[in-house]
A = this chain, B = another copy of it.
């Protein structure tokens, strides 16, 4: 099985109360790909500049990520994001965003990228998401992330993009904003009215909730951590674990399978935030993933014995 992701491949500058980095590998497609690499062949699609060198490719390639669709634009600069987190890490401030080569990005996928069984459209301009989606018509399952910027400035395009995917993966506040519905359960149903058969509401440290057909609901808490250093990329790592597991699954993507995928998403997101950027996931092992998945399972199960 194989998984294509389109999204930012970037450099990040991040400051949190627990340290800072001036220039490190980042971007949604990077965090997603590293997380998904524990489950399947993953291929990020997107442009980088001359500044993206052997060290950055090496981080991806050591995890077996297929880098053939990372387009190096001569004379260009890679996407750059600078952000700062408060002592309450839930509060983030974007201090700078430079689109660089992403400003003129026209997705041209290789045959291998087009042939993917599973597709993830990370947060980019929704018309670009649709261009990629149109090229990946073999994908049996596709999902999309977005952000408040596109809800504000390109809502019609975003709704058209959402109508074409099987699953929306979005922060819960943005699901509310997108639908104008303050109740999350109602907002998720409204999204499903546009097309998707599943909605994943990302809830930061509170975890994530899954809404599926027939009013099915599932939720997992965030994995409890005493040391969180940099939340950047947590949502994309979640999506990478979630879709990576789904792509590796041979057979119908039923409710049981989607729930396990939520578990792997939760686990990958939790490793991602333990250190800066890709530092923790880059040296993560499959054994550690499975161990934490078991721990998450133990932390969320209970036996419904009757009351005496």
Q: Which residues of A contact B (CB under 8 A)?
A: 39, 87-89, 182-186, 189, 203, 205-207, 209, 217-221, 224-228, 245, 248-250, 256, 259-260, 262-264, 293-294, 297, 299-305, 307-308
Q: Is the CB of B300 within 8 A of A245?
A: no
Please name all residues of chain B whose beta carbon is closer than 8 Å to the beta carbon of A294 when the two chains form the complex.
Answer: 304
Q: Is the CB of A303 within 8 A of B88?
A: no
25 residue pairs bridging A and B, Cβ less than 8 Å apart: A88-B182, A183-B226, A183-B228, A185-B224, A189-B226, A206-B207, A207-B221, A209-B221, A209-B224, A217-B299, A218-B299, A218-B300, A219-B221, A220-B221, A245-B307, A248-B307, A249-B307, A249-B308, A259-B302, A262-B302, A264-B307, A293-B304, A294-B304, A297-B304, A300-B301
Q: A88-B182, A183-B228, A249-B308 are in contact. Are A300 and B303 (CB under 8 A)?
A: no
Q: Which 5 pairs, one residue from A and one from B, show the smallest C-beta to C-beta distance?
A: A219-B221, A259-B302, A206-B206, A185-B224, A297-B304
In this complex, the member of A248, A259, A302, A303 whose beta carbon has the largest number of chain B beta carbons within 10 angstroms is A302
Please name all residues of chain B whose beta carbon is closer than 8 Å to the beta carbon of A300 when the two chains form the complex.
Answer: 218-219, 300-302
Q: Is the CB of B249 within 8 A of A303?
A: no
Q: Is the CB of A87 within 8 A of B182?
A: yes
Please name all residues of chain B whose beta carbon is closer than 8 Å to the beta carbon of A305 when the two chains form the complex.
Answer: 256, 260
* Copies of this protein, total: 2
A293 CB, min distance to chain B CBs, angstroms: 6
Please name all residues of chain B whose beta carbon is closer than 8 Å to the beta carbon of A302 when the two chains form the complex.
Answer: 218, 256, 259-260, 262-263, 297, 300
Q: Is the CB of A224 within 8 A of B217?
A: yes
Q: A224-B209, A302-B259 are in contact. Are A307 and B39 (CB under 8 A)?
A: yes
A269 CB, min distance to chain B CBs, angstroms: 15
Q: Is the CB of A219 within 8 A of B307?
A: no
Please name all residues of chain B whose beta carbon is closer than 8 Å to the beta carbon of A259 when the two chains form the complex.
Answer: 302-303
Q: Is the CB of A221 within 8 A of B224?
A: no
Please name all residues of chain B whose beta carbon is closer than 8 Å to the beta carbon of A304 when the two chains form the complex.
Answer: 260, 263, 293-294, 297
Please name all residues of chain B whose beta carbon is closer than 8 Å to the beta carbon of A260 when the two chains form the complex.
Answer: 302-305
A223 CB, min distance to chain B CBs, angstroms: 9
